[in-house]
Structure 1
Amino acid sequence: MTSESEGRCHSVDVSSITAGPLRAMLRTCDGVLVEALHEPRAARSEGEPGRRPEGGSGCSGCSGEHDGEDGEDRADGGGGADGADGDGERRPGGVAAGTAIVVAHGFTGSVDRPAVRRAARVLARSAAVVTFSFRGHGRSGGLSTVGDREVLDLAAAVAWARSLGYRRVVTAGFSMGGSVALRHAALYGAAYGGAARERSAAAVDAGAGAPERRPTADARRRRGERRRPYESAPEPWLAADARECRTDAVAAVSAPARWYYRGTAPMRRLHWVVTRPVGRLVGRYGLRTRIHPRDWDPVPLSPVAAVPLIAPTPLLIVHGDRDPYFPLDHPRMLAAAGPSELWLEPGMGHAENAVGDALLGRLGDWLVRA
């Protein structure tokens, strides 16, 4: 337990910021340690032309990394040669910071998996990148809840990126990480304020009963009742200030629209891994993923229910037409649920393993411009 207010995401202290990669262990709101890696924006190769954000200098919502008078991107983002920006604040890597992309990997991924490293390397051409391992994955502590409490892991990584001095922090999630990114954008956007918070509160009030009269989970199971939906038990961190944990734009790649989907063979195998004791042993020793043995209770807010709460935060949905896990009705459901941009990619399979460098480049550019 902590005396800090709920919803505030804290990371370990980092005494010095260097121009190279930086690893840290972040502590989430519920006390789980997750490993994270910050990598500065990659240096432009010789001869690569500078790119001006759409709309030119002074465009709305730009990252602050405008071109200089010579047509090349200004490495200091408008700051002085000593690595301070206009207000004298030090920034990561000795330069004034613009945008950081926080990457949320898929189930069984981690910071050091080759597909995650490749995605980070390509995205770093557009902006600085923060990668991390969800709980139960890699060197992070805890047990995987397969998309539920992982929202807290992403929130801690976003808060860490902001603590490093970045003016804009955006999120890109793949598969399970995509569902987490959608829920994170909705929950922390709602917690931070605005119309989204009012819509979230209305949704909670519509399904809420008196808390003291609700039966326990064991009592409901004995009576054969279904697990509570999210709306009847709002997440406790929604009531706290979440300014540092919010995202400025979100992209979900190969994300599911709804829970408990078993319509494809890969998803049936995944459910076996998650729900059966033998499957969880396979997950731990074969897939290097430690899975929580308990069912969700309450059932978390679904990705498709989260989408309407994300606006006005920019939202991009990316999905391949050859995804073996989730067919095209998933991205179409997500896109129809609220304001968003939808990219259906011909020939693309599933998540970070299937995303090509060209698409990652487009994705990074969209996140910086959004």
Structure 2
Amino acid sequence: MSSSRAGHRAGRPHSETDGRPPSRTFLRTADGVSIDAVYDPGKVPHHTSRPLSGTGRTRSRHPVFVIAHGFTGDVDRPHVRRVASAFSAYGAVVTFSFRGHGRSGGHSTVGDREVLDLAAAVEWARGLGHARVITVGFSMGGSVVLRHAALHPGTVDAVVSVSAPARWYYRGTAPMRRLHWLVTRPAGRLVGRYGFRTRIHRRDWNPVPLSPAEAVPRIAPTPLLLVHGDSDGYFPLDHPLMLAEAAGEHGELWLEHGMGHAENAAADALLARIGDWAVSRAG
């Protein structure tokens, strides 16, 4: 398992909760990468129950949302902060930058070892006293929350994957062809580093990680929600339909009319519906 260590405080406004401001720290993943993370206690009061053994804290009945951003995002991007603000109406929120993104260390593996980053964030959320942990991922982050739930069963209480691919190496759309150029070519990686603040690993996957479609059947009985726009310019509808088929009778699929791709396309009303679903399903 990974462990976390305290870092610096974030200079963000206080939330309407128990008076604690959002806090910022660096987490250490199981393979030693430093991950920039922010915790916001949320905008509704926390109600606690039994003490956490040996910690001096109590376990909160309030859920925590752990948000996994898309490729080239990071914890300080406006679209990530907007998503965090929307879910803070339903519980506490942990946001973090995947490896190679923003102020996190390491290099992006575009969805492979990022599972370790999410595992460190989930462990941190549990350590902060939350009995219910909900992971919500977008695009690359959507594939990561699926694989994390499959590879670390029982560590989360609900999973939401938005605009995720179903399979690897997809090049069927112009945006995905541009993304593959960014990842696979030296010139593309330079653009990623200096244009998108994303440091990309130069080596190919070895071995190729479990695909999202292969991961989905392993998530049950954890509640699962798949969300995809019918105007997604990156991954057409065969991707969510493949994921839904892999899920079988387990999980739900929402096909959103007119929605594009990932965080920027997720309207506030959709985020509210996801928040309602997650809180009702996480027990």
- TM-score, length-normalised on structure 2? 0.91
Counterpart in the other structure of 1:185: 149
CA contact (8 A) 2:138 2:263 kept: yes
Distance 1:252 1:287 in 2: 23
Deviations 1:189-209 (A, max 9, x none): 1xx6xxxxxxxxxxxxxxxxx
1:13 positional shift: 4.3
Looking at both structures, which has the greater relative contact order when contacts are Cα pairs under 8 Å and sequence separation is at least 6?
Answer: 1
CA contact (8 A) 2:37 2:94 kept: yes
Amino acid aligned to 2:185: R
Distance 1:159 1:18 in 2: 23
Amino acid aligned to 1:298: P
Q: Which runs of 5+ in 1 are unaligned?
A: 1-7, 44-74, 80-84, 193-245
- Is residue 251 of structure 1 aligned with residue 182 of structure 2? no
Counterpart in the other structure of 1:353: 264
Distance 2:90 2:180 in 1: 36
Between stretches 110-119 and 14-23, larger displacement belongs to 14-23
Q: SS state of the match for residue 152, structure 2?
A: helix
Distance 1:331 1:308 in 2: 14
Q: SS state of the match for residue 198, structure 2?
A: coil
Distance 2:178 2:50 in 1: 54
Counterpart in the other structure of 2:5: 12
Amino acid aligned to 1:275: T
Counterpart in the other structure of 2:57: 90
Counterpart in the other structure of 2:14: none
CA contact (8 A) 1:99 1:170 kept: yes
Residues 86 and 302 of structure 1: CA distance in aligned 2, closer, same or farther (over 3 Å): closer
Match of 1:118 among 54, 75, 82: 82
Counterpart in the other structure of 1:39: 40
1:156 positional shift: 0.2
Distance 2:255 2:209 in 1: 27
Match of 2:97 among 126, 133, 144: 133
Amino acid aligned to 1:269: R
1:163 positional shift: 0.3
Q: SS state of the match for residue 252, structure 1?
A: strand
Q: SS state of the match for residue 25, structure 1?
A: strand
- Is residue 263 of structure 1 aligned with residue 172 of structure 2? yes
Counterpart in the other structure of 2:181: 272
Q: SS state of the match for residue 316, structure 1?
A: strand
Distance 1:120 1:274 in 2: 27
1:253 positional shift: 0.1
Distance 2:96 2:8 in 1: 20
Counterpart in the other structure of 1:196: none
- Is residue 158 of structure 1 aligned with residue 158 of structure 2? no
Amino acid aligned to 1:102: V
Match of 1:286 among 160, 185, 195: 195
Q: Which runs of 5+ in 2 are unaligned?
A: 10-17
Amino acid aligned to 1:138: G
Counterpart in the other structure of 2:240: 331
Amino acid aligned to 2:188: G
Distance 1:30 1:101 in 2: 24
Amino acid aligned to 1:150: E
Distance 1:182 1:166 in 2: 21
Distance 1:362 1:187 in 2: 27
Q: SS state of the match for residue 125, structure 1?
A: coil
CA contact (8 A) 1:91 1:97 kept: no
Match of 2:73 among 98, 106, 109: 109
Counterpart in the other structure of 2:211: 302
1:90 positional shift: 2.4
Amino acid aligned to 2:36: E
1:368 positional shift: 1.2
Residues 76 and 290 of structure 1: CA distance in aligned 2, closer, same or farther (over 3 Å): closer
- Is residue 25 of structure 1 aligned with residue 34 of structure 2? no
